[in-house]
């Protein structure tokens, strides 16, 4: 069972500030950085798979990214240059990884299925650089560069800033054997209409600047992009507990990661506003679909369009895609678990993603109140969400128990 402490550890990344020893125009958090890293990893992996014919183990990519995220959350007090130095030393690397697992993650991992503890341990002990590890490493440096480009203009007078810039660029150069990385480097300085996949990751990166609960004071403040990763990881962990097939895990993770993608174009419109006027919610959905067609799809290969539609349209419905990849069929959560838990159906648990989305909002409100920041909006939001989910089971999973942790 997913524990409260594991959920809190994931959410704690929203409190971890990056570049806090540099002047910076906005607050950069570890949660948003890791979310951006996953979006970039998806983009690189899809590009390599579709256009270069590279075989990608998507479950390894997802889990590797989650492992790296949790590892970084635990060792957050170690500055990146020191951390990378430690990880390059065989003996120190083993000791650090053992400490992270045994002192911080073992108790939570041991309550999850599918021997995730062993996979975490092997991930950091095996030195072979798989294509999935290489993609995650390239994505890490590209996400870091995206942040640093904002910071650089504020920090030109800082001692060592050019060295930091050169180190980041050097690490990216080392990954130019990946076709997608070469393409991104070529597109970086082009006009918006020619930016292609780099334009896509740059546009998604703007979700870092969109605040959740924008009109309600909270601690910590969370971004839409960071929220997406929180939902994606929760959805993946629940999928593991349901023993979901690989394709279902894939769809639930990336469905969670991209479910609010249209908000980069429309901004985060809160549910009470959407539901305040009859027909407004559907009008917003129609606008989101047309905006995706006009602004996002031209940036990515045509072969990705149907998958991104699958992730972002009827995103909170349980659905499958049969023989045709051009359309999907909405099904019930009971049939999802009993009849469609197979790769051949390309299943996606929209109801689980929706519940994780609401759980994330519930935790955001709960943690803020716990830190002493109260408001009627937060309290009403918690009450409304809890009344809907406190006893709910989805595909046989007791979602209500996760809400009870933070009541």
Q: What is the mean pLDDT of each run of 10 residues along the chain (407 residues)?
A: 96 93 90 98 96 93 97 84 74 85 89 89 88 97 96 91 94 95 94 90 94 85 95 98 97 97 71 57 80 92 94 95 82 90 96 97 94 88 94 94 95
pTM greater than the 0.95 cutoff: no
Best CA proximity match to 63, nearest among 257, 310, 253: 253
Match domain 224-404 to its CATH number in 3.30.499.10, 1.10.3210.10, 2.60.120.1270, 3.20.19.10. 1.10.3210.10
> 217 Cβ partners below 8 Å, 6+ apart?
368, 373, 375
Helix (H, G, I), strand (E, B) or coil at 260: coil
Tokens of 82: 């020191």
H-assigned helices in 160-318: 161-173, 179-187, 196-205, 224-241, 246-258, 263-266, 271-274, 280-291, 305-312
Euclidean distance between CA atoms 244 and 341, whole angstroms? 6
**Residues 210 and 267 sit within 8 Å (Cβ to Cβ):** yes
Q: Which residues, in sequence order, are CB contacts of 274 under 8 Å at separation 6+? A: 280, 281, 284
**Phi, psi (degrees; rounded to nearest 5) at 130:** -75, 170
- Distance between CA 59 and CA 244 in Å, rounded? 12
- Per-residue pLDDT at 267: 59
Going from the C-alpha of 99 to that of each of 96, 105, 309, 383, 404, the distances in angstroms are: 5, 9, 42, 39, 30
Whole-Å CA distances, 216 to 12, 212, 365, 379, 383: 20, 9, 10, 11, 16
Class of domain 21-207 as given by CATH: mainly alpha
Q: How many CA atoms lie within 13 A of 24 on its CB side?
A: 18
Q: Where in the chain is the domain with CATH 1.10.3210.10?
A: 224-404
pLDDT attached to residue 82: 75
**Residue 285: what pLDDT?**
78
Tokens 């595909």 correspond to what residue?
395
Distances (CA, A) of 59 to 67, 110, 132, 282, 305: 12, 19, 10, 34, 21
Q: Report the distance separating Cα 18 and Cα 136, nearest Å.
A: 19
Which pLDDT belongs to residue 274? 52
């Amino acid at each position: 069972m997913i524990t409260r402490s594991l959920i809190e550890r994931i959410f704690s990344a929203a409190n971890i500030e990056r570049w806090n020893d540099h002047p910076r125009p906005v607050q950069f958090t570890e949660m948003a950085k890791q979310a951006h890293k996953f979006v970039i990893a998806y983009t690189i992996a899809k590009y390599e798979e579709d256009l270069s014919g590279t075989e990608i183990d998507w479950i390894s990519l997802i889990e590797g990214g989650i492992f790296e995220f949790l590892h970084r959350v635990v060792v957050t007090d170690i500055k990146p240059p020191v951390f990378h130095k430690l990880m390059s030393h065989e003996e120190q690397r083993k000791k650090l990884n053992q400490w992270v697992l045994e002192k911080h993650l073992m108790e939570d991992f041991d309550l999850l299925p599918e021997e995730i503890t062993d996979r975490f341990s092997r991930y950091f002990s095996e030195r072979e650089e798989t294509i999935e590890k290489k993609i995650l490493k390239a994505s890490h440096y590209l996400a870091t560069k995206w942040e640093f480009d904002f910071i650089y203009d504020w920090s030109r007078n800082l001692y060592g800033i050019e060295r930091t810039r050169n180190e980041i660029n050097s690490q990216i150069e080392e990954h130019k054997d990946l076709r997608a990385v070469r393409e991104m480097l070529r597109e970086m300085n082009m006009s918006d209409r020619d930016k292609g996949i780099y334009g896509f990751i740059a546009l998604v990166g703007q979700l870092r600047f969109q605040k959740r609960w924008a009109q309600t004071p909270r601690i910590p403040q969370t971004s839409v992009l960071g929220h997406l990763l929180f939902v994606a990881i929760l959805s993946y962990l629940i999928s593991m507990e349901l023993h979901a097939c690989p394709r279902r895990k894939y769809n639930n993770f990336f469905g969670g990661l991209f479910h609010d993608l249209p908000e980069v174009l429309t901004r985060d419109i809160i549910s009470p506003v959407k539901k305040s006027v009859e027909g407004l919610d559907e009008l917003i959905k129609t606008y989101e679909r047309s905006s995706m067609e006009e602004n996002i799809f031209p940036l990515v290969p045509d072969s990705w369009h149907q998958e991104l539609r699958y992730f972002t349209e009827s995103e909170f419905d349980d659905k499958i895609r049969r023989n045709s990849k051009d359309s999907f069929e909405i099904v019930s959560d009971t049939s999802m678990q009993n009849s469609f838990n197979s790769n051949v159906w390309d299943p996606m648990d929209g109801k689980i993603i929706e519940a994780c989305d609401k759980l994330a909002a519930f935790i955001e409100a709960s943690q803020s109140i716990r830190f002493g920041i109260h408001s009627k909006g937060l309290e009403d939001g918690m009450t409304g969400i809890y009344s809907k989910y406190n006893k709910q089971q989805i595909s046989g999973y007791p979602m209500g128990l996760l809400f009870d942790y933070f009541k």
